[in-house]
Amino acid sequence: MRANFIFSEVWIGLRRNLTMTIAVVVTVAVGMALLGVGLMINSQVSKLTGYWSNKVEVSVYLCVKNSAFAACKNKNGVTQEQRANLEQTIKSLPDVEQVTFESQTDAYKKWQQQEVNQTLLAVTKVEDMPESFRVKLKDPDKAAAVANSLKGQPGVSNVVNERDLLQSVFGFMDTLRNVALGIAILMVIAATLLIGNTVRLSAYNRRRETGIMRLVGASNIYIQLPFVLEGLIAGLIGGVLAGVILIIVKVYIFESIQTYMAAPLGWDTVAGVISGTMAIGVLICVVASFITLRRYLRV
């Protein structure tokens, strides 16, 4: 088998169908970039979930005097007895790992650090802050169940499952990922059809050559290889472009978001995603070429 013969055939084929080749390259690049972005969001979400799940707590807020919460109405706040009972109840729950008590003073200090509204800071007193139990769980997935069982206990004003707060962020990212992956799938379909068309055109353009090759007994591989290589090269160029796009996305979008996120997406993940999408892009091109060849190039 002579390599330079095959490569000159490939070059001729790519040049003859230049516009189609460009279309394939662009489609593969965009499709694979979107697929990569989807995968990157996916691993970002799982990284964040992993990071936060250990830290997420269930906060059980206790009634203060004149609280607006329905559970505390017309009472003078939580009693000593209620507080002690509650601590017992929480500690007896099987999923609870650790309980810490946050006093009004502690809560006030924390709040003071976070709050920027000066008027609010001025009028709020220590007694306005709620006491709370911060409950750490053995299994973060049980948070909802624990929160529900503590809701409505005497002296409890409100139970906040911090997971619910994160969930809305994760939900948004999940949607983003699904959109990216959805478009990626459409692009992959478009790329497959485009490659099919390109190979078909190519086979038609070279039907004389392939006819003679068949006649003089060139092996099937020899006849088909130039077409498959055309697909492979287009896929490879598209894959490289997709890689470049993904690096840009990582630098300009993920890096800037990461200031708000505790778990940054590492370059190792990005490298994995790029090589993965590139492999998929090339594979799709080669498989699509092969399938079309079987239809349009009788051997």
CB atoms within 10 A of CB 105: 11
Distance CA 78, CA 66 (A): 11
Applying CB under 8 A, does 208 fall inside the site for other proteins? Answer: yes
Distance CA 93, CA 160 (A): 17
Distance CA 8, CA 4 (A): 6
147 vs 297 by CB, closer to other proteins: 297
Segment near other proteins (CB under 8 A); pick from 29-37, 217-225, 261-269, 283-291: 217-225
**According to CB under 8 A, which one of 220, 248, 255, 294 is a site residue for other proteins?**
220
8 vs 66 by CB, closer to other proteins: 8
Size of the site for other proteins (CB under 8 A): 18
**According to CB under 8 A, which one of 214, 236, 276, 287 is a site residue for other proteins?**
214
Question: E strands along the chain, which residues?
Answer: 57-62, 96-102, 132-137, 156-161
Segment near other proteins (CB under 8 A); pick from 58-66, 154-162, 213-221, 255-263: 213-221
Q: At what angle do helices 267-296 and 18-53 cross, to 10 degrees?
A: 140
CB of 229 to other proteins, least distance (A): 15
CB atoms within 10 A of CB 232: 18
12 vs 249 by CB, closer to other proteins: 12
Applying CB under 8 A, does 136 fall inside the site for other proteins? Answer: no
2 vs 125 by CB, closer to other proteins: 2
Any idea of the CA torsion for 183, 188, 192, 197, to the nearest 10 degrees? 40
The CA R_g of the chain, rounded to the nearest whole Å, is: 31
Applying CB under 8 A, does 215 fall inside the site for other proteins? Answer: yes
The strand pair at 96-102 and 132-137 is best described as antiparallel
Applying CB under 8 A, does 5 fall inside the site for other proteins? Answer: yes
CA 185 to chain centre: 15
CB of 199 to other proteins, least distance (A): 19
Residues 152-191, mask of contacts with other proteins (x by CB under 8 A): ----------------------------------------
SS3 67: coil
**According to CB under 8 A, which one of 66, 76, 148, 219 is a site residue for other proteins?**
219
Segment near other proteins (CB under 8 A); pick from 16-24, 64-72, 127-135, 205-213: 205-213
152 vs 217 by CB, closer to other proteins: 217
145 vs 299 by CB, closer to other proteins: 299
Q: Are 56 and 163 in contact (CB under 8 A)?
A: yes
Q: Which residue has the tokens 């090589």?
A: 275
Distance CA 285, CA 231 (A): 5
Residue 164 neighbours by CB under 8 Å, 6+ apart: none
Summarize as ranges the residues that interact with other proteins (CB under 8 A). 1-2, 5, 208-209, 211-220, 222-223, 299
